[in-house]
Amino acid sequence: MIFKSTLPIIEFPFKINHNEQILSIGSCFTEHIGNKLKNSFFDIIQNPFGIVYNPISIAKQLDIIIKNQLYKEEDLCHHNSKYFSWNHHSNYSDFNKGNALNKINTRLESARKGTSNLCHLHLTFATAWVYELKSTNEIVANCHKIPSSNFVKKLLTVEEIIDSIVPVLKNYNTKFPQLKILFTLSPVRHLRDGIIEDRLSKSILRVSIDAIIKKFENAYYFPAYELVTDDLRDYRFSKEDLAHPNEMAIEYVWDYFKNAIFDIKTIEIINQLVKILKMKNHIGDIHDIEFQKFQIKIKDLENQFRMEHPHIKY
């Protein structure tokens, strides 16, 4: 008997390698896969505004990056003694205005340098539920613990999502003709919105992604959502909150990602790195002669790796 549905590996018409720049923006699931790429020494910029969940805010952030905009003091807001930006995660907030501005702009400058020859854009949509600031009608990326009375909660339409992001992606394609755009739908369940409401939100996002992809020859969909909710389909692959995928689920999606989007050479490089990093994590007695020999062996492997792959920033 068959007890599960397995998603066949999708053959993407492109591959990712260590020579190419990647920009990854979206929810905490973006962070999980992005961290896997970063730990495999890919040239990746992750969430330069911090974790973001809704597609309108993602479109705004992409627009700011490509237009080379920097933040000014008047772009910051102030509440409970902290300065913050509506487009940023609270990690960028600070009690000092100058510090907040410096954190924001330093990260923006780093993102621009790291995407000067951008090859891959990874976007993860997490929710179609957004919070609109009553005073300006602006959709915010983060509410920064401002009282809910200052916001209107609304559900985005497919048309609003398409209209917000398509013009920005056209600008990216113009600037980076080699670009490949990869969309994912976050498998994280937003239970605070309600189970029914979250499923409605996910369906809107999925339809929006499909419509956006059809407008671009270089846009594709990676089935992270389906891998977790349909292929694995079990609470044992969730964390204790029953909303976030656990490490087993993340590894499962990562393995699928590697087989679908990396060529054999890139996978071999990753396996080399995994071997070296596992050896480096080994704890031993520095006074033990055998452990000293082991440390020398690691150094030799690292030097050999750098010689064989000088383009990788190991």
Contacts of 11 (CB under 8 A, 6+ apart): 260
If 0-12 CB within 10 Å is exposed, 13-18 middle and 19+ buried, where does residue 211 land? Answer: middle
Once rounded to an integer, what is the mean pLDDT over residues 161-180?
Answer: 98
The angle subtended at Cα 225 by Cα 222 and Cα 229, nearest 5°, is: 145
What is residue 122's predicted lDDT score, i.e. its pLDDT?
98
Whole-number Å distance between alpha carbons of 121 and 183: 8
Lowest mean pLDDT among 126-135, 208-217, 253-262, 271-280: 271-280
Q: Which CATH superfamily is domain 21-261 in?
A: SGNH hydrolase (3.40.50.1110)
What is residue 211's predicted lDDT score, i.e. its pLDDT?
99
What is residue 195's predicted lDDT score, i.e. its pLDDT?
97
Whether 29 shows a pLDDT value over 90: the answer reads: no
Q: What is the pTM of this model?
A: 0.93
**Where exactly are the structural domains of the chain?**
21-261, 265-314
Long-range contacts of 94-98 (CB under 8 A, 24+ apart): 97/73
User: Model confidence over 238-291: pLDDT tens digits?
Assistant: 999 999 999 999 999 999 999 999 999 999 999 999 898 888 887 776 777 877
Give the total residue count for the chain. Answer: 314
Calculate the alpha carbon distances from 285 to 145, 279, 295, 301 in Å. Answer: 48, 14, 11, 20
Once rounded to an integer, what is the mean pLDDT over residues 9-20?
Answer: 95
Calculate the alpha carbon distances from 58 to 8, 29, 146, 165, 220 in Å. Answer: 30, 14, 21, 8, 17
Whether 17 shows a pLDDT value over 80: the answer reads: yes
Spatial CA neighbour of 43 closest among 117, 107, 123, 106: 117
What is residue 282's predicted lDDT score, i.e. its pLDDT?
79
Structure tokens at 123: 């976007």
What is residue 281's predicted lDDT score, i.e. its pLDDT?
85
User: Model confidence over 247-259: pLDDT tens digits?
Assistant: 999 999 999 999 9
Q: What are phi and psi of 78, to 5 degrees?
A: -135, 130
Contacts of 156 (CB under 8 A, 6+ apart): 54, 55, 56, 128, 129, 130, 204
Whether 199 shows a pLDDT value over 90: the answer reads: yes
**3-state per-residue secondary structure call for the chain:** CCCCCCCCCCCCCCCCCCCCEEEEEECHHHHHHHHHHHHCCCEEEECCCCCCCCHHHHHHHHHHHHCCCCCCHHHCEEECCEEECCCCCHHHCECCHHHHHHHHHHHHHHHHHCCCCEEEEEEEECCCEEEEECCCCEEECCCCCCCHHHEEEEECCHHHHHHHHHHHHHHHHHHCCCCEEEEEECCCCCHHHCHHHHHHHHHHHHHHHHHHHCCCCCEEEECHHHHHHHHHCCHHHECCCCCCECHHHHHHHHHHHHHHHCCHHHHHHHHHHHHHHHHHCCCCCCCCHHHHHHHHHHHHHHHHHHHHCCCCCC
What is residue 245's predicted lDDT score, i.e. its pLDDT?
95
User: Model confidence over 59-101: pLDDT tens digits?
Assistant: 999 999 999 999 999 999 999 999 999 999 999 999 999 999 9
Residue-averaged pLDDT of the chain: 94
